[in-house]
């Protein structure tokens, strides 16, 4: 499949919402109100993957810039994104691109779309002269192991390659490092049981 990455436009909202409803429960899918807010506040930080032959949206990423010192590392997704509205975006003072979302349509996973969305985010970090990008990696397979080990132990085994997590294993391959393991990141997520790894990719053009 041939696709291109471009900035999100209002005409993409319906398809973004459709993809998110497939991945998450319908009540936690993205809304038009949230997506409009993203474009109003930080349009250059929002991207979609578009299939060239059909114009169909097959993936998206959403991000904002935050002043990391305003937050505790163990805060949850709603804190870092102002409940998904991005109204806490701080381009003047912030030096961290916070990755609120990367998602790929379930039918075309492992097609390279996810990698391209992460690559364009790294490129944006360099263009803006930011220090890094950080995000919360929900531990999608943790529910299978919760009775046997802690989330910290699970993450360590994923880092060692002894366990595979659909989200975190992929992100580690994209050059991210784990800087913390948190509880309550997405409290209502049945797969992760609210657990997430806080991940970071540092801008190689910056020394501090």
Q: What is the CATH number of domain 1-130?
A: 3.40.630.30
Looking at residue 81, its pLDDT comes to: 94
pLDDT at 74 > cutoff 90: no
Q: Is 59 helix (H, G, I), strand (E, B) or coil?
A: strand
What's the Cα-to-Cα distance from 10 to each of 13, 18, 162, rounded to whole Å?
6, 14, 42
Which tens digit of pLDDT belongs to each residue from 102-139? 999 988 877 889 999 999 999 999 999 999 999 999 99
Residue intervals of the chain classified under CATH 3.40.630.30 are 1-130
| Strand order from edge to edge, sheet including 46-51 | 3-7, 46-51, 57-66, 96-104, 132-138, 196-202, 177-182
pTM to 2 decimals? 0.92
Q: What pLDDT does residue 102 have?
A: 95
Label residue 201 by pLDDT band (50, 70, 90). very high
Place of tokens 């114009």: 55
Helix (H) or strand (E) holding 116: helix 113-128
Residue 208, pLDDT above cutoff 60:
no
């Amino acid at each position: 499949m041939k696709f291109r990455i471009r900035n999100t436009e209002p005409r993409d909202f319906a398809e973004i919402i459709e993809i998110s409803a497939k991945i998450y429960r319908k009540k936690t899918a993205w809304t038009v109100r949230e997506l409009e807010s993203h474009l109003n506040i930080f349009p250059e930080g929002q991207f979609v993957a578009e299939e060239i032959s059909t114009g169909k949206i097959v993936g998206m990423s959403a991000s904002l810039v935050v002043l990391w010192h305003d937050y505790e590392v163990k805060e949850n997704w709603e804190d870092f994104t102002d409940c998904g509205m991005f109204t806490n975006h701080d381009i003047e003072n912030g030096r961290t691109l916070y990755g609120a979302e990367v998602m790929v349509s379930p039918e075309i996973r492992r097609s390279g779309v996810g990698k391209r969305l992460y690559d364009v985010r790294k490129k944006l970090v360099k263009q803006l002269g930011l220090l890094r990008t950080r995000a919360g990696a929900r531990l999608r397979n943790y529910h299978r192991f919760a009775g046997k080990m802690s989330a910290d132990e699970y993450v360590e085994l994923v880092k060692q390659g002894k366990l595979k997590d659909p989200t975190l294993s992929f992100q580690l391959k994209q050059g991210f490092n784990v800087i913390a393991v948190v509880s309550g990141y997405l409290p209502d997520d049945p797969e992760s049981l609210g657990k997430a790894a806080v991940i970071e990719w540092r801008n190689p053009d910056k020394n501090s």
